Amino acid sequence: MIQVKLKKLLNKPKLDSLLDNFTQTFNLSFCISDIEGNIIWGQFKNNYNYHYPILVNQQILGKINGDTEEIETISQMLNYILNEEFEKKLLAVDTLEKYEELNFLSDISHQLSSCLSFEEIMEVVTKETNKVITNSQIYVILLDDKGELNIYSYQGKKLHKRQGSIESITGHVLRSGKAEIVNDVHEDSRYIPQDTKVKSLICAPLKVQNKTIGVIKVTHNNLIKYTSEQLKLLASLTSQAAIAIQNTQHYNKLIDYSQTLEQKVEERTEALEEAKKKLEYLATVDELTQVYNRRYFNEYFEREWRRLARERKFISLILCDVDYFKRYNDYYYHQAGDECLHEVAQCLKNLVKRPADLVARFGGEEFAIILSSTNRLGAEKVAKQLCQAIEGLEIPHCCSECSSYVTLSLGVAITIPTPQVSPQKLIKAADKALYQAKDMGRNCFSVCEFRPESL
């Protein structure tokens, strides 16, 4: 059994960097320990209440410990990496052993190793099998996820496919994992006549790491007494073909998946990078409204504040509140309330389109809009458009005291940032303006303009 060292894997720079990024990006605190309890990544804390095992080939190598359930996602990724590493090493050892044992098939092995598609493998298997078992029909039969047999043949330089029955000689070899010779198929009760011309067949399983993924079947239209040497040769060929077929299956599932071990590692790293990007996206977008969430708003607002402070340009902030939304929820129920918030958010997003501007869900029924390089005149124009657009959606609201439709109250705050003043000051100013808009009867906006140095 090949052993995968957890500590050695975690010492890889790319993985170590990925774990650091998770810690910083998602503000997570966790550590990783081996089976003996030794900390091999991070620092252990007594308040860690969540522990998830790290397994490879159903063997626990260690565990990940943290203070939130979010570390379960990291545990799943580590388990994925470790199991891929284990499979990669098993594949390397299996390939080496079979090459040493079956060196007389080195030419076939070389050809299969260069195949990047299943069609290429079928061409090689068909050509090489016919050299030793002449005038035969060669089929590669694979079991799909639905438990059905897909039968492939390569004829006239073209790949053909049809389905077969699991209750057949082929299905028996697939289940038993043992090769068989049937010199007269019509005397075998398991034979299902899909081709009445077939008289004899020889069938060997395609095995990878003791798992049967399919069979190679050779048939003849005459009664043939196949020999044990022919069976041995076919079994040797299938051992090479099985590895190549599994490689192409992985290749088709992952972008530019390569048959070399080093390229496989690179592809798996790319898959992890994609997963990281997806997690980062989920961490910045509000699931209900599909606009940015409060966390990302805070980060972006800080960056824009510093940038515009350097450039000495205006920044405007608009806080929006859906008028009488609690009454809306109570009357129309929460599902309608969720749909209302989503529609309002998308309307705001469609109106605020400049690259540096941002729409975010601020909390509950509140939204925040950052308008970069925008003075009072520009902010008032946008606020007026937002009020009109939301009421223009004509979402019925019979419990509102300011309109028969859903409306917004807006608080607008404008300033030129300075490094010495916290951007929270502008949020407070916009919040104050929002309350003024509500005091004015709602479905309107109020503006507050101030100089940070005067606060």
Domain count, the chain: 3
Same domain (yes/no): 165, 224: yes
Which of 94, 123, 138 is at the close of a domain? Answer: 94
CB atoms within 10 A of CB 155: 11
Q: What is the pLDDT of residue 300?
A: 95
Same domain (yes/no): 143, 222: yes
- The three-state secondary structure class of 205 is strand
**Which residue has better confidence, 299 or 166?**
299
105 — pLDDT class (breaks 50, 70, 90): low
Is 269 a domain residue?
no
Is 355 a domain residue?
yes
Which of 203, 225, 253 is at the close of a domain? Answer: 253
Same domain (yes/no): 249, 298: no
pLDDT of 241 over the 60 cut: yes
* Cα–Cα nearest to 121, from 238, 287, 22: 238
Is 64 a domain residue?
yes
E strands, 288-429, in order: 315-322, 358-363, 366-372, 408-415
Same domain (yes/no): 171, 235: yes
* Residue 139 Cα distances to 124, 127, 202, angstroms: 12, 12, 11
Is 261 a domain residue?
no
Same domain (yes/no): 307, 444: yes
Section 97-116 average pLDDT: 65
pLDDT of 95 over the 50 cut: yes
* Residue 251 Cα distances to 4, 126, 238, 257, 346, angstroms: 23, 22, 19, 4, 39
Same domain (yes/no): 299, 411: yes
Report the relative pairing of strands 315-322 and 366-372 from DSSP bridges. Answer: antiparallel
Is 409 a domain residue?
yes
Is 281 a domain residue?
no
Which of 253, 285, 303 is at the close of a domain? Answer: 253
d(CA 279, CA 450): 38
Percent with pLDDT over 90 in the chain: 35
Looking at residue 2, the DSSP 8-state letter turns out to be P
Element (H, E) at 377: helix 376-392
Q: Specify the CATH number for the domain of residue 183.
A: 3.30.450.40
φ and ψ at residue 12, rounded to 5 degrees: -70, 130
pLDDT tens digits, 251-279: 766 654 344 556 666 777 677 777 777 77
**Which residue has better confidence, 102 or 250?**
250
Is 323 a domain residue?
yes
Domain that holds residue 450: 294-454
Same domain (yes/no): 72, 127: no
Is 289 a domain residue?
no
pLDDT tens digits, 111-148: 877 777 888 888 888 888 887 777 788 888 887 777 77
**Residues 263/231, Cβ–Cβ less than 8 Å:** no
Same domain (yes/no): 439, 418: yes
Same domain (yes/no): 345, 367: yes
Report the relative pairing of strands 137-143 and 149-155 from DSSP bridges. Answer: antiparallel
Section 385-394 average pLDDT: 95
Q: What is the pLDDT of residue 49?
A: 86
φ and ψ at residue 191, rounded to 5 degrees: -70, 130
pLDDT of 285 over the 90 cut: yes
pLDDT tens digits, 35-77: 888 888 888 888 888 889 988 878 888 888 888 888 888 888 8
Q: What is the pLDDT of residue 396?
A: 95
Mean pLDDT of the chain: 84
Same domain (yes/no): 86, 121: no
pLDDT tens digits, 170-197: 888 888 888 888 888 888 888 877 766 8
Q: CA 211, 214, 215, 216: dihedral to nearest 10 degrees?
A: -120
- Walk across the sheet containing 180-182 and list its strands: 158-164, 149-155, 137-143, 211-220, 200-208, 180-182
Same domain (yes/no): 318, 346: yes
Same domain (yes/no): 419, 308: yes
